[in-house]
Chains A and B, each alone.
Chain A
Amino acid sequence: MKQYRTHLLVCAGTGCVAAGSFEIKTALEKEIGRRKLQNEIAVISTGCNGFCERGPIVVVQPEGIFYQKLKKEDIPSLVEEHLLKGRPVKRLLYVPPAEARPVPKMMDIGFFKHQRLIVLKNRGRIDPENIEEYIAFEGYQALEKALTTMDPGEIVKEIKDAGLRGRGGAGFPTGLKWEICRKVPGNSKYVVCNADEGDPGAFMDRSILEADPHAVLEGMTIGARAIGATKGFIYVRTEYPLALKRIKIAIEQAEQYGLLGADILGTGFDFSIEVKRGAGAFVSGEETSLLAAIEGKIGIPKQRPPYPVHRGLWKKPTNINNVETWANVPHIILRGAKWYSEIGTEGSKGTKIFSLVGKINNTGLVEVPMGIAMKDIIYEIGGGIPNNKQIKAVQTGGPSGGCIPKRLLDLPIDYESLKQAGSMMGSGGMIVMDEDTCMVDVAKYFMNFLRDESCGKCLSCREGTQRIWEILDKITRGKGVPADIDLLEELAVATKDASMCGLGQTAANPVLSTLQYFKGEYEAHIKYKKCPAVVCKGIISSPCQHTCPIETEAPQYIAYIAHGQFEKAYDIILKDNPLLNVCARVCHHPCEAKCRAGQGGKPIAIRALKRAAIEYNSAKKRTHKRLKASGVKIAIIGSGPSGLMAAYDLAQKGYAPTIFEALPAAGGMLAIGIPDYRLPKKALVEDLDRVANAGVEIRTGQKLGKDFSIKDLFKQDYRAVYIAVGAHKSIKLGIPKEDSAGVVPAMEFLTKHSLGEKTAIGVRVGVIGGGNSAVDAARVAKRLPAVKEVTIIYRRTRNEMPAYAEEIEDALEEGINIQFLTAPTEIVTKDGRITGVRCTRMELGAVDESGRRRPLPIKGSDFLVELDTLISAISEQPDLSFLKKDHDFEISGWNTFVVNKETLATNVPGIFAGGDAIRGPSSVIDAMADGKKVAKAIDQYLRNGEIKFEYKVTRPSVYVEPAKLTVKETLESTRQDTKKLEVGKRKQNFNEVDLGLSKSGAICEAKRCLRCDLEVKDEDEKEQK
C-alpha cells in the first residue's frame, strides 16, 4: 500500500460542494502536481465534516490542522507555506466568534471538541466511494461477528439491551420492533431504510449517506439477519442526488466484495438491497405511505393496524427504520449493548445527530450524547448567536415539533424532556431563533409547509392546516381579532385528534407550541397591531417606522431628503416630534438596528438624516398653531423628555399643561445627564422653547414633596397628574467605604457639572459601571482641566457593555482607559479620602438565563488601581423621596412606579406615571413614547372616564415618490458616516463632537434607502361573512 506523509481531506458533502470544494480539490491536485509532491501528499474527497458554515473545508492529517472558507486563490500559498515549508497559513484557520486568535487543530475547536462521534465517526476521514477505506476503519466487522458468532435471537437481544430507539422521530424501541417482526411467521420478509428526510432544515440522513453509506448497508444486513428478511429497500428522496449516487456505488462495491447479495461472507445468508427514489412528497416519509410508494402506489398513509411489522410491503412483514437508526446497529453489535447503554440517559441511550441551523454561529451537523443540555449545544458547540443578538427559542422536531423558549435552555436533550416541554426530538432538526424571529411568522411558515405537504385525505388535516394557515396569515397582516386565538386552539385540537396519520396528528404542534410560550407575540399582533420582531410586513410596513417608539415616519422624511426637499422632510419629523433637535443628536436609533439595508450591508444613517433635515431646511423654524386652551389644567412632574412630550401633546389637544421641575433648569436628563458635547445647550433650548410656545408653562425650582404636594395640585384644580421624575438617584456600589471623600455618584457629578457648580475632582479619576451614565461621566471628567487620567472599570466584556456602541468608541478615541472584566472589591482610603480601589479580574463562566456568560472572579488576581476620585455609575433608580410615608402608590422592587402597561395609569385615580420613573434608566425615545401615550390616556380619561385605545397597523401618512438612482449611484452607494470633531480639538472643551452630514452627503445617504414602505399594498377586501 502506498504511504503518504500527508493526507489532505477535502470535504465533499453537498454543502461544501455547493461552496466549490470540487474546484478546491482540482486546484490542490494541480498545485501538488506542479510542485512534484504527488507521491508524498494524497488528496482525498470525504463526506460531510459537519461544520458546513465554514466550507470549503480541508483537513490536513496527521496533524489535524483545520482549514476553512478556502478559495481557489488560496491554494498555491497553502501548498507552499504549509506543505512545503511546514507553516500553517494563519489567515485560513478558524477563529472563534468574538475572539482574536485562530485555533489551528480541528479537535481543539469547540464545535468538534464537544461532540461524541459514533455514527459519524468516519465522516471527513474516509472516501465514501471506496469500500476499502470503510473496511480499514473496522468496517463490516460487526456483520462478520453477527453472521458467524450470533444467532438471530441474540442479535435482537443485543439491540434491545442497548436501548436503541428509532431516530426517525417517534423513538419507538428498535429492538422491540425487530423482535415483533422476527416472531411473525413467514419466509418472505423485508427491511426498509427510510431516507426520505423531509423536515425543512434537516440533513442528518443525507450526511450519513454521503459520508459513510456502508454503515447503513451493514446495519441493514445485520437487521435482515435478525428478522429473517432476504430483501431490503432504501427509499431516498430524489432531492439528494449525491446521496443516491454514493449509496448505489456502495451497494455495487459491497456486492463485489461478497458483503451483500448471495451467500454473504460465505455463510449462506442471502440479502440484497435495492434503492428506490422518492418523488417529492413530505408525507411519503410516513411509514405506510413510504411502503405504498415502494409498491408503486400513490404515497398516501394507511390506517394502522395492521402495522408494517405484521403486514407491510406486499402484505409481508416489514421492518422499517430510519437511516441513523440503521447506522447505529454495527456499533452496538461490535462493541456490545453494555457499552452503548452507558452513553446517554436512562430513557434515551446512545447519541443523536442534530442539524444545527438558523441564527447560530457554527451552522452544521453535530453528534452529541443524549442528555446533553440544549444550552451546551448552542454555546459550546454552536458558538452562540451571531451579531450579538439575543436568542429567543430553539425549534426541534421540524414541522411536527415545537419551540423551546430561551428560559428552558437547561433542558437535557432526550425524548421525554422534549416531549414534556411541548416539542419532540423528531429526526434531529434544530433551528435556532433570535430576537429578529417572529414566532407567529414561524408558525405560519410551518403551517404553509404542512398544508402543501398534507396528502389531503383526511378532512381534519387538509382543511385544518389550510384554515390554521389562513388565520395565521390574517394575524400577520394585522387583521387578527382576539377570538382567533381560541379558534386556533380549537382547530389545533381537532386537527390533532381527528387525523389518521402522524402528519396530521402533529401538524398543529408549531401553533400549539408557539401559543404556549409566546402568546404575548400573538397578542401583540392581534391587539396592539405590533410585530415585536419586526417581521410581518402587513403590520410593520417599514421596520424603522414600526420599531420607533413614537412611529416616526422615517421612510417619508428620508425620501424627501433624497429629492432634496428638506422642508417637507422637516415637516414630517415635526408632525410627531417637538424635540427634534434632541432626537437628532442623542436618540439611540432603534430604527437603524432593524433597518433592512443593514442586513448584509450598512443601515441607513436615519438619525443623521434627521439632523440634516433640520440643518438644511431653509424655511423659518415652525411650530404648530396653538389651539385655544380649554383651561383644563394638567400637572406634569418633571421636565425631562417624557414630561415635555406629554405636555406638548396635551397642549395640542387644547389642555393647559404645567410642568413642575425641581432643578433650576428644564430638560431633566437632557440637561443634566447628557453632556454638551453630545447635546449642545443651544439645541436643547430651541426644543424647550418650541414646547413652551405650544402653550406649556414650565416652572423650575419646584420640587414635589418640598414646595408642593399632589394633594395641593388637585386642590388647585389640576384634573390629572403625570409623574415623570426620571431615575436620577445613583445606586450604591455595595462595597465598603464608598462614603469616603472623593467617591461621588455619577448623577451627582453630572448634575453639578451641568448646572455650573464646582465639582471636587482630582487628577486620576475612576468610573465604575458600563452604561451610558458611566461613559458620559468618564468623558466629562476627561475634559476637565485638572484631570490627567480616566479609567472605566467594567465587570463584563466590551460586547456586553450596555452603553451605546458609538459612545464607547468615542470614549476610547478620547484616550479613556477601559478595564474590561474587572470588578471593584474594596475602596482604599487614607485619612478618610480615597487613594485607590482594589479590583479583581473576572473571567466569563457558564451562560446564565439571560443568555450571557456570567462573570466570575479569578482567585488571586487582586490588584490596585490608584485614584483620587471614584465615580460610581452602575445604575440609577427613581428618587422617590417625595412620597409620604403613608402614600398609596404601588412601587416595584426597583423603586419604580407600577402602572397599567396600556394606559400608564397608577393605582391612584387621576395619577399617571411614565418614562424612567416606571422603567428604570432607559432611553429618551421610550420616555417620549410614554409621554405621547399618557397624553392620549389623560384626554380619554377626562372626557369619557375610561381609557380605551384603538390600535392600528403601521402605515405612512403620505405617499412619497421613490427617488431614482443612476446605475453608477446604485453600484457605488456606501453608508455616509457623519463627520466628527478631531480628537485633538476635543480636549478641555465641551464642543459638539458629532458634526453631522454634508448636504450632498445627506442626499446620497437618503438615496440608499430601500423604501420598505412601498412594498405593502392594502387591497380593498370584500366583506366576508
Chain B
Amino acid sequence: MINFILNGLEVQAQEGSTILEACKFYGIEIPTLCYYEGLSPYGGCRLCLVEIGKGENSKLVSSCTYPVEEGLIVRTNTKRIVNARKMMIELLISIAPQSKTIQDLASKFHVTTVRFPVRHEDCVLCGRCVRMCKEQMQGGAIGFTARGNKKKIETPFNVRSEECRLCGGCIYVCPACQLRCQGPDAKTDLCSGCLSLEPTCIETHDDYQCWMGTTGDCGTCEGRPDQIKKQMPDDR
C-alpha cells in the first residue's frame, strides 16, 4: 500500500493505482471527460487535473494517468486548478456546444461566458471511441491521425474499414454525440439549463420537468443565461 496526502488527509492506495482511482475511492469528486470506466486512461481532456507537490515545484498533472507515489502531496481544488479547469471547459464549449455532457460540465463548474468563436464540431478528440473500439470491442478500426490543430479520428487513410463491425460502441461512448436539449441550432452557446440549481419550471409546474424526459420542452428554460446571471451570484 502506498501512503500519500490527499487534500490534507493521510490516505492509502494500492501500488499501481492512479490518483483518480484513489480519489474515487475516497469520494472526492473530480470532473473527467476522456476517462471512461473500463477503458485505459488517456489524459487528453485535462479536466481531471490535480496539483501535486508544494510551493515553487508544484505542478498540475492529469490524475487519471498519474500513479500514486509514497509521500505525494495532492490537492484537488486549488486556485490554479479551478482556473485551468474553467478554461478547459470554455474551450470545449467553443468546440462542441451541442454536447449535453459538456454543457453539464459548464453548468456545474460555473462557466458563464464563452469568449472564443464557436466551431460547432462533432468531435473533441477525447479518444474514448478509439479506446472503446480497440480495447473493449477488440476492433481497432479507428485511430488518431495527423497532429496539432489538424488532428482527427478516422480510419486509416480515411477509407472504409474492414475491421469495423458496426457495433456502435464508438457512438455509445461519445460525449459529443449526446445532444443537449435544444439541439444543434441552439439559440445560445451556453445553455446552463439542466444542472442549474433553480429550475424555472418549478414556478409553473409541480414537478421538475426534465425528469419527465421532456427536457427543455416546457419552454421555461429559454433565455436561461440571463436569468442565471440574475439568480446566481457572480462568483468569478
| Stretch of A85-93, A487-495, A531-539, A876-884 at the chain-chain interface | A487-495
Nearest-neighbour CB distance to chain B for A477, whole angstroms, equals 14
Q: Which of A454, A491, A494, A500 counts the most chain B CB atoms within 10 A?
A: A494
**Interface residue stretch chosen among A28-36, A462-470, A640-648:** A462-470
B43 to chain A, nearest CB (A): 6
State whether the Cβ of A149 lies closer than 8 Å to any Cβ in chain B: no
For A185, what are the chain B residues with a Cβ–Cβ distance below 8 Å?
Answer: none
Q: Does B103 contact A (CB under 8 A)?
A: no
| Proximity bits, A488-521, B CB within 8 Å = 1, else 0 | 0011011001111000000000000000000000
Whether the Cβ atoms of B147 and A455 lie closer than 8 Å is yes
Return the contact of B125 from the options A462, A465, A490, A1025 (Cβ within 8 A).
A462
* Residue pair B118, A303 in contact (C-beta under 8 Å): no
- Given A303-B61, A453-B148, A467-B91, A494 and B84 contact (CB-CB distance below 8 Å): yes
Q: How far is the CA of A988 from the CA of B61 in the complex (A)?
A: 82
Contact B149–A465 (Cβ < 8 Å): yes
Minimum C-beta distance from B34 to chain A (A) = 9
Q: Which residue of A lies closest to B67 (CB)?
A: A305
The residue in chain B whose Cβ has the minimal distance to the Cβ of A505 is B59
Tell whether B199 is near chain A: CB-to-CB under 8 Å.
no
B91 — which chain A residues lie within 8 A by C-beta?
Answer: 459-460, 463-464, 467
Q: Are B87 and A452 in contact (CB under 8 A)?
A: no
In the complex, the chain A residue whose C-beta lies closest to that of B88 is A459
Separation of A463 and B189 alpha carbons in the complex (Å): 18
CA distance A318 to B88 in the complex (A): 34
Task: Judge whether B43 and A303 touch: CB under 8 Å.
Answer: yes
Complex partner residue of A303 from B65, B80, B146, B151, CB under 8 angstroms: B65
Residues of B within 8 A of A281 (CB): 147
B211 at interface, CB cutoff 8 A: no
A943 → chain B closest CB, angstroms: 35
A interface residues, Cβ below 8 angstroms from B = 281, 283, 298, 303, 305, 451-460, 462-467, 470, 483, 487, 490-491, 493-494, 497-500, 1024-1025
Smallest distance from the beta carbon of A794 to chain B beta carbons, Å?
A: 53
Give the distance to chain B from A292, nearest Cβ to Cβ, in Å. Answer: 13
Q: Which residues of B contact A458 (CB under 8 A)?
A: 43-44, 46
CB-based contact A456/B149 at 8 Å: yes
Q: Is the CB of B65 within 8 A of A470?
A: no
Q: Are B149 and A466 in contact, CB atoms less than 8 angstroms apart?
A: yes
In the assembled complex, how far is the CB of residue B28 from the closest CB belonging to chain A, in whole angstroms? 19
Cβ contacts B29-69/A at 8 Å (1 or 0 each)? 00000000000001111100100000000011110011101
Tell me the dominant secondary structure on chain A's binding face. Answer: helix
Cβ contact of A487, chosen from B42, B43, B115, B147, cutoff 8 A: B115
Name the B residues within 8 Å of A1025 (CB-CB).
117-118, 189
Tell me which residues across on chain B come within 8 A of A457, comparing CB atoms.
Answer: 42-44
* B116 in contact (CB, < 8 A): yes
Say yes or no for B92: interface residue by CB 8 A criterion. yes
B60–A456 contact, CB under 8 A? no
Residues of A within 8 A of B14 (CB): none
Q: If A305-B67, A459-B88, A467-B116 touch, does A499 touch B46 (CB 8 Å cutoff)?
A: yes
Q: Is the CB of A456 within 8 A of B46?
A: no
B176 within 8 A of A: no
Q: Which of B60, B92, B148 contacts A455 (CB 8 A)?
A: B148
A462 to B126, CA, bound (A): 12
Interface presence of B172 (CB below 8 A): no
Min distance, Cβ B63 to any Cβ of chain A, angstroms: 11
The CA-CA distance from A498 to B45 in the complex, in Å, is 10
Q: Is B146 within 8 A of A456, CB to CB?
A: yes
A419 to chain B, nearest CB (A): 12
Kindly provide the distance from the CB of A489 to the nearest chain B CB, expressed in whole angstroms: 11
Interface presence of B161 (CB below 8 A): no
Partner of A459, one of B59, B67, B92, B118: B92
User: How long is the Cα–Cα vector from A247 to B80 in the complex, in angstroms?
Assistant: 46
Chain B contacts with A in 15-32, Cβ cutoff 8 A: none
If A457-B44, A470-B116 touch, whether A451 touches B92 (CB-CB below 8 Å) is: no
Instruction: Tell me, yes or no, whether B144 is within 8 Å of chain A by CB.
Output: yes
Residues of B at the A interface (CB closer than 8 Å) are 42-46, 49, 59-62, 65-67, 69, 80, 83-84, 87-88, 91-92, 94-95, 115-118, 124-125, 144, 146-151, 189
Least distance between A622 CB and chain B CB atoms (Å)? 48
How far does the Cβ of B81 sit from chain A's closest Cβ, in whole Å? 8
Compute how far the CA of A500 lies from the CA of B34 in the bound complex, rounded to whole angstroms. 15
Contacts of A452 in B (CB 8 A): 148-150
Contact between B95 and A463, CB atoms less than 8 A apart: yes
Closest to B60 in A: A497
| Minimum CB distance partner of A483 in chain B | B115
Given contacts A283-B147, A497-B60, 11 further A-B contacts (CB under 8 A): A303-B62, A303-B65, A303-B66, A455-B147, A459-B91, A459-B125, A460-B88, A462-B148, A465-B148, A470-B117, A498-B46
> Chain B residues near A303 (CB, 8 Å)?
43, 61-62, 65-66
Chain B residue at minimal CB-CB distance from A490: B87
Bound together, the chains give a CA A454 to CA B92 distance in angstroms of: 18
Given the complex of chains A and B, what is the CA–CA distance between A173 and B48 in angstroms?
32
The answer to whether B67 touches A498, judged by C-beta atoms less than 8 angstroms apart, is no
B43 adjacent to A500 (CB under 8 Å): yes
How many angstroms from the CA of A473 to the CA of B6 in the assembled complex?
42
Task: Specify which chain B residues have a CB less than 8 angstroms from the CB of A464 in the assembled complex.
Answer: 91
Q: Given the known inter-chain contacts A454-B149, A462-B148, A465-B149, please indicate yes or no for A494 contacting B43, CB distance below 8 A.
A: no
Taking CB atoms, residues of chain A closer than 8 Å to B95 are 463
**Given A454-B147, A467-B116, A487-B115, does the pair A459, B44 have CB atoms closer than 8 Å?**
yes
Top 10 nearest A-B pairs by Cβ distance? A456-B151, A494-B87, A454-B148, A498-B46, A1024-B117, A498-B84, A463-B91, A466-B149, A456-B147, A457-B44
Residues in A with CB closer than 8 Å to B65 are 303
With the chains together, A453 CA to B148 CA distance in Å? Answer: 6
Q: Within the complex, what minimum Cβ distance (angstroms) separates B236 from chain A?
A: 11
CA gap between A305 and B16 in the complex, in Å: 12
Task: Tell which of B67, B84, B146 has the most Cβ of chain A within 10 Å.
Answer: B84
Establish whether residues A462 and B151, one from each chain, have CB atoms under 8 Å apart when the complex forms: yes
Bound-state CA distance A305–B60 (Å) is 13
Residues in A neighbouring B43, C-beta threshold 8 A:
303, 457-458, 500
How distant is the Cα of A456 from the Cα of B125 in the complex, in angstroms? 9
Q: Are B147 and A500 in contact (CB under 8 A)?
A: no
Closest chain-B Cβ to A675's Cβ sits at a distance in Å of 58
Set of chain A residues within 8 Å of B148, measured between Cβ atoms:
451-456, 462, 465
Beta-carbon contact of B117 and A494 below 8 Å:
no
Q: Which of B62, B67, B88, B117 contacts A500 (CB 8 A)?
A: B62
Residue of A nearest to B126 (CB): A459
The residue among B46, B67, B149 with the most chain A CB atoms within 10 A of its own CB is B46
Question: Do A462 and B88 touch (CB < 8 A)?
Answer: no
Contact B62 A305 (CB under 8 A): no
Interface centre among A455, A460, A463, A464, by most B CB within 10 Å?
A463
A494 and B83 in contact (CB under 8 A), knowing A457-B43, A463-B91, A499-B46? yes
A selection of 12 A-B contacts at a CB cut-off of 8 Å is A281-B147, A305-B67, A451-B148, A452-B148, A454-B148, A460-B91, A490-B87, A493-B83, A498-B46, A499-B46, A500-B43, A500-B62
Docked complex Cα distance between A457 and B147 (Å):
8
Smallest beta-carbon distance A414→chain B, Å: 19
For B59, give the chain A residue with the smallest CB separation. A497
B84, A460: Cβ atoms closer than 8 Å: yes
* Closest chain B residue to A494, Cβ basis: B87
CB distance from A314 to the nearest CB of B (A): 19
How far in angstroms is the closest Cβ of chain A from B181? 19
What residues of A have a CB within 8 angstroms of the CB of B116 in the complex?
467, 470
Give the docked Cα–Cα distance between A614 and B138 (Å): 82
Cα–Cα, bound, A458→B67 (Å): 18
A936 to B229, CA, bound (A): 41
CB neighbours (8 Å) of A283 from chain B are: 147
Neighbouring B residues of A483 by C-beta, 8 Å: 115
Cβ B46 vs Cβ A460 within 8 A: yes
- Report A152 CB to chain B, min CB distance, Å: 29
Residue contact B149 to A459, C-beta cutoff 8 Å: no
Chain A residues whose C-beta falls within 8 Å of the C-beta of B61 in the assembled complex? 303, 500
